[in-house]
Structure formats: structure tokens, C-alpha cells
């Protein structure tokens, strides 16, 4: 599904943020991506969603070399990836309902065709009563759940979550993790970037990808 071969990333003329990164993400797999702050977790995520181009190396995504993709093909690939951002990235002028429905709306789908699905998913993440609220009036945890719902709505093949439990209490963190595990069981490959050890301890079956000094170490 996704593979990195000798990938390096450098911002400007500075030192390499990522060096010789090699790994594969198989379909229906579950992995934590961890490492100290500033180790390059977010950069790695941005490489996967093609928001950054590697300085060197090869990234193969859904069977294609990412360097050869044009803009329309990148858009097509991104539609198969759900992303949960650390800072939520909800659009402040849209309601929660509209934010969650965004990936379907940009596909040009009729609003009536996804209304029930979005409403149901919002209920499932505990935001059924707040679907007409604007993000500005929500707590960090609520925004996080809305962000997760937005990433799930298009039933992605690969889900990337950047510190998804960074703004929630332990109970909600467990619930969110359970949601990711369920999603994984339903056939989605999941990558969760986190430095929350207690979260990782709750799911021992997951691979651990550890970033340190720009290099990636894999613990199966």
C-alpha cells in the first residue's frame, strides 16, 4: 500500500530532518509512529499525504511512484487517505456537520446522499447534539472527535492521525483508540503518530515505528 525507500527530507539548506527512512505499510495494518518532539513525525505524515516532496528516495503509494504523479493524480490518491491533524484543521465558518461532510462534498456528491451517514457518524463520536455548532464554541476534545469523524467519513484505505489524543482526557483517549482499532478491523490501515506511551500500551498488537535523530526504527 505504501513504502518508503531511502527517503531523506531536508528543509532549505539545513541538516536532513529525515534520513534513509525505509518502511512499508501493509493494507489492514496498525502502527504507532512515535519519537520525541521534533523528531519528524509530522514531516513524515506530510510526506505520506504528498504535502511535501522528499529531497531524495522513493515513495510508492497505492502502487505508484509519488514523484511521477500529477496534481490530479495526487488529488485522487489523497481521497483514499483520511487525515486527523494535531491542530484539527476544522474550517471555522462551517458547522460541525459541514466540516465532517467536507470530503464527500468536495467529491461533488449531493448533500441528501450523505446526510444520514454524516449524522450517524457524528452521533457515534458523541457530537450528535452539536452538529450545527461552529468549531469556535467547541472544546479541544470535541474538535478532535469532529476531526476524526471527517477523516473517517469517506471510508479511507489509509488513516493517518497526528497526536489524536493530545487534547483529550484518558477516558476519551481510550474511546478514540477503540474507534481506530475498530476501523482497522474493518480493513483500514492505520498510522497513529503519538508520544503518549500509555496509549500505545493499550494496543500491544500494533507495530511501532520510532523516529529518532531523523532515522526510523521498526519494532514489530
Partner 1 sequence: MSLVDKIYERAKALRAPPAPADDDAPALPTPLVPTDSVAGRSLVIVIAIMTFLAALAAGAALLVAQASVEWRSEASSEASVQLRPTQGRDMETDLKKAAEIVRKTDGIREAQIYTKAESEALLEPWLGHGLDLSELPTPRMIVVKIDPRTRPDLDSLRADLRAAVPSAVLDDHHVFMERLGEMARAVVSISAMIFILIVGAMGIAVASATRAAVATNREIVEVLHIVGAADTYIAHEFQRRFLALGLRGAVIGGSAAIGFFLLAQMLTRSWRATASGEQMEAMFGDFWIGAEGFLIILLLAGAIALLTGYLSQVTVFRHLRQLG
| # residues contacting partner 1 (CB under 8 A) | 41
Q: Which stretch binds partner 1 (CB under 8 A): 10-18, 26-34, 60-68, 96-104?
A: 96-104
Nearer to partner 1, 99 or 214 (CB): 99
What dihedral do alpha carbons 31, 114, 71, 56 form, nearest 10°?
Answer: -10
Integer CA distances (angstroms), 3 to 61, 180, 189, in order: 7, 21, 13
For residue 145, what is its C-alpha cell? 472527535
Kindly report the backbone phi and psi dihedral angles of residue 65, in degrees, each rounded to the nearest multiple of 5, phi listed first: -75, 120
Contact at 8 Å (CB) between 160 and 168?
no
Smallest Cα–Cα separation from 75: which of 49, 101, 56? 49
Beta bridge partners of 39: none
Task: Compare residues 70 and 220 and give the one whose CB is closer to partner 1.
Answer: 70
Q: Does 193 bind partner 1 (CB under 8 A)?
A: no
**Should residue 75 be labelled a site residue for partner 1 when binding is judged by CB under 8 A?**
yes
Q: Which is nearer to partner 1, 51 or 218 (CB)?
A: 51
Residues near partner 1, by CB under 8 A? 49, 51, 71-72, 75-76, 78-79, 83, 89, 91, 93-95, 97-98, 102-103, 105-108, 111-113, 115-117, 119-121, 124, 132, 150, 152, 154-155, 182-183, 185-186
Amino acid at each position: 500500500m505504501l513504502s518508503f525507500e531511502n527517503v531523506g527530507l531536508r528543509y532549505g539548506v539545513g541538516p536532513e530532518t529525515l534520513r534513509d527512512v525505509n518502511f512499508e505499510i501493509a493494507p489492514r495494518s496498525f502502527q504507532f509512529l512515535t519519537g520525541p518532539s521534533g523528531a519528524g513525525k509530522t514531516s513524515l505524515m506530510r510526506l505520506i499525504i504528498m504535502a511535501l516532496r522528499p529531497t531524495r528516495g522513493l515513495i510508492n503509494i497505492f502502487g505508484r511512484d509519488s514523484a511521477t504523479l500529477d496534481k490530479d493524480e495526487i488529488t485522487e490518491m489523497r481521497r483514499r487517505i483520511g487525515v486527523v491533524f494535531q491542530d484539527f484543521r476544522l474550517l471555522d465558518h462551517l458547522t460541525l456537520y459541514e466540516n465532517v461532510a467536507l470530503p464527500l462534498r468536495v467529491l461533488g456528491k449531493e448533500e441528501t446522499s450523505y446526510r444520514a451517514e454524516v449524522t450517524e457518524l457524528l452521533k457515534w463520536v458523541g457530537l450528535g447534539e452539536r452538529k450545527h455548532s461552529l468549531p469556535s464554541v467547541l472544546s479541544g476534545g470535541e474538535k478532535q472527535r469532529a476531526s476524526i469523524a471527517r477523516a473517517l467519513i469517506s471510508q479511507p484505505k489509509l488513516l493517518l492521525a497526528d497526536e489524536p489524543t493530545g487534547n483529550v482526557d484518558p477516558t476519551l483517549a481510550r474511546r478514540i483508540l477503540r474507534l481506530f482499532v475498530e476501523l482497522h478491523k474493518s480493513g483500514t490501515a492505520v498510522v497513529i503518530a503519538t508520544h503518549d506511551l500509555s496509549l500505545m500500551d493499550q494496543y500491544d498488537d500494533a507495530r511501532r515505528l520510532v523516529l529518532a535523530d531523523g532515522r526510523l526504527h521498526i519494532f514489530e
